């Protein structure tokens, strides 16, 4: 029997995301990743925005080392699977690999997908929403 936890990543702060629909009783975690916060120099305004989004979600919020916090949360909840939503972040698959290695593949990561807002092969700059939106808007606002 699957006993998952949900890892909410920063690119899927959506309380109606597919992961919550498929696993409505699974405990969820979001980690403010210390490494990412310092490397990307994320503004306080963006952190507050993310925090306010998280308050609308059934999620435990932690700050620390991403992989360690998620694995500890999985152990605390006796989970045998980690479920998350796909992210366009270049770090995403590195984190997925690290989660599987850290747990000795005992807690595989299942990655779900949503229909993307923007359908393009363009590589977006994900550090600043305004830069992303300037490039994405023409694709997202097309009339069919």
Which CATH topology does 4-113 take? Rossmann fold (3.40.50)
- For residue range 104-144, list pLDDT tens digits in order: 656 689 999 876 666 666 565 555 667 767 777 776 666 54
Cα distance between residue 22 and residue 85, in whole Å: 12
Report residue 114 CA to chain centroid gap: 12
Domain limits, the chain: 4-113, 115-144
Cα distance between residue 16 and residue 84, in whole Å: 13
pTM: 0.79
Measured CA angle at 54 (ends 58, 125), to 5 deg: 135
Q: Would you state the pLDDT for residue 85?
A: 95
Q: Would you state the pLDDT for residue 91?
A: 85
Strand order in the sheet with 109-112: 60-64, 28-33, 4-7, 81-85, 109-112
Nearest one of 87, 140, 80 to 113, comparing CA atoms: 87
**Above 70 in pLDDT, residue 28?**
yes
- For residue range 51-92, list pLDDT tens digits in order: 999 999 999 999 999 999 999 999 999 999 999 999 888 788
């Amino acid at each position: 029997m699957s006993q998952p936890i949900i890892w909410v990543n920063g690119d899927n702060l959506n309380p109606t995301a597919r992961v919550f629909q498929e696993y409505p009783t699974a405990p969820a975690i979001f980690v403010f990743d210390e490494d990412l916060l310092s490397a990307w120099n994320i503004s306080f305004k963006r952190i507050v925005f993310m925090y306010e989004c998280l308050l609308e979600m059934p999620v435990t919020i932690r700050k620390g080392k991403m992989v360690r916090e998620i694995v500890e949360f999985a152990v605390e909840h006796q989970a045998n699977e980690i479920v998350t939503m796909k992210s366009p972040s270049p770090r995403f698959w590195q984190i997925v690999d690290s989660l599987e290695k850290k747990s000795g593949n005992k807690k595989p990561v299942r990655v779900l997908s949503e229909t993307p807002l923007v359908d393009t092969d363009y590589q977006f700059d994900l550090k600043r929403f305004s830069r992303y939106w300037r490039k994405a808007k023409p694709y997202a606002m097309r009339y069919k």
